[in-house]
Amino acid sequence: MLFNAARTAGKILSLTVLLVSTSLAQAQSQILSVTAYPAVDEIIKAAMPQWKKTHPNVEIKLVSRAFEDHHTAMTTALSTSSNLPDVMALEFAYVGRFGAGGGLEDLSQSPYRIKDTQMRFVPFAFRQATLSTGAVVAAPTDIGPGTLLYRTDLLKKAGVSEAELTQSWDSFVASGVKIKATTGAYLMAHARDIKDILIRSNVKPGDGLYFDAAGKVVVDSSRFVRAFELARRVRQQQLDGKISGWSTAWSQGFKNGNIATQMSGAWLAGQMASWIAPTTKGLWRASQLPEKAWGAWGGTFYAIPKAAKNKALAWEFIQFMTLNRDAQLSAFKVQDAFPALLEAHTDPFYDQPIEFLGGQKARLLWREAALKINAIDVNKLDPIADEIVNTELDKVLDQGKDIPKALADAKALLERRARR
């Protein structure tokens, strides 16, 4: 009987220890919620094992949605202050809009103090997340240095050299005439592409794409006039296929050799190789943009909503993803996410030839571009301005609308939106 009592007491003690241990483990474990989109979600998944080494009791709950669905969901979450993650990934085009809405933490303030590490980031990328108030609403993790991808077989058949193609925008268009005449291929998918890079060229420090440092609308400036004129010239000479990016016709044009060039971020070369046009391996090369027009396409940032539950842990995660050289290089090697961290710009990987580009060491070109791109200020109305300008460009290209009139109308409409 004494034995049974001792055994019962032992069981109770063991159960108590188990319950206490379980309770402590639960108390110590935490869940960090992160939302992202392809291929940022894959980058985060790949980084989880390394993160777990220093945060063994933190479970990352990753929610991934398609690109547009993700940003729509985050727009709704911020406006309602519900269903918000601890960390949200944002594409550059959404940073200014979300930041100006007041729903994101200012990372320049304590306890974050991101400006203490500002010099470790590519200058233009850090500036992209900085509002006119000085608030820094997100941390850059990858960037899209602008590049020109071109088909060597089409250029060779047309007797056009890379130097001729890229010397100036005028020579770029003239090369397109030769290419079309001898190969039947379009110079570019859509005339809008040339507008997109030209409005990003020669932006004054402190200015944005559509607004100057004082908030004045500048869509009727010489930048936009030249961009519209060149786009119109491309269309008038039938050098573009009127093909929208990311459409089936767009990817098919690359596969079939119907499109000779594409201006985009450096990341496009990796996507061309992996799924857009892998059968064209070896036919493409990369160069700097014509006329050394340093520009950027896209880029990924991490932000913390003001209503997030685990802000301290969220900031640790963001620092791990953006200030960890190994994590940055891993994302670059696996997903072609060009590092925003300068420390990750010195690695033998940059000197390696890229098979899809015929063995070209194109990462060296992209690294050079990354350091020469001007910082462009962001504005919450940038997405709306982009829609307005594109609508007016379509009227110029498709309806023959006068360029000064089109830009004046765009300016007037944008000024009305800014006054609301």
In the block, tokens 């609403």 appear at 137
Pick the CATH number of 30-143+298-351 from 3.40.50.1100, 3.40.50.1970, 3.40.630.30, 3.40.190.10: 3.40.190.10
Output the six-digit token pair for 239: 């050098």
| Per-residue pLDDT at 132 | 81
| Per-residue pLDDT at 240 | 98
- Could you tell me if 418 and 217 are in contact, meaning their C-beta atoms sit under 8 angstroms apart? yes
- Could you tell me if 231 and 191 are in contact, meaning their C-beta atoms sit under 8 angstroms apart? yes
Q: How far is CA 232 from CA 180, 226, 227, 399, in A?
A: 17, 10, 9, 11
| Per-residue pLDDT at 23 | 39
Is the domain covering 146-295+355-419 a CATH 3.40.190.10 domain? yes
Low-confidence ranges of the chain (pLDDT < 50): 1-27
Give the span between the Cα atoms of 63 and 42, in whole angstroms: 11
| Per-residue pLDDT at 13 | 39
Give the span between the Cα atoms of 289 and 305, in whole angstroms: 36
> What is the pTM assigned to this prediction?
0.90
Give the span between the Cα atoms of 8 and 341, in whole angstroms: 61
Q: Return the number of other C-beta atoms located less than 10 Å from residue 326's C-beta.
A: 11
| Per-residue pLDDT at 410 | 98
| Per-residue pLDDT at 206 | 81
- Could you tell me if 241 and 190 are in contact, meaning their C-beta atoms sit under 8 angstroms apart? yes
**Residue range(s) in the chain whose domain bears CATH number 3.40.190.10:** 30-143+298-351, 146-295+355-419
HEC profile of the chain: CHHHHHHHHHHHHHHHHHHHHHHHHHHHCEEEEEEECCCHHHHHHHHHHHHHHHCCCEEEEEEECCHHHHHHHHHHHHHHCCCCCCEEEEEHHHHHHHHHCCCECCCCCCCCCHHHHHHHECHHHHHHCECCCCCECCEEEEEEEEEEEEEHHHHHHHCCCHHHHHCCHHHHHHHHHHHHHHHCCECECCCHHHHHHHCCCCCCCCCECCECCCCCECCCCHHHHHHHHHHHHHHHCCCECCCCCCCHHHHHHHHHCCECEEEEECHHHHHHHHHHCHHHCCCEEEECCHHHCCCEEEEEEEECECCCCCHHHHHHHHHHHHHCHHHHHHHHHHHCCEECEHHHHCCHHHHCCEHHHCCECHHHHHHHHHHHCCCCECCCCHHHHHHHHHHHHHHHHHHCCCHHHHHHHHHHHHHHHHHC
In the block, tokens 């459409």 appear at 247
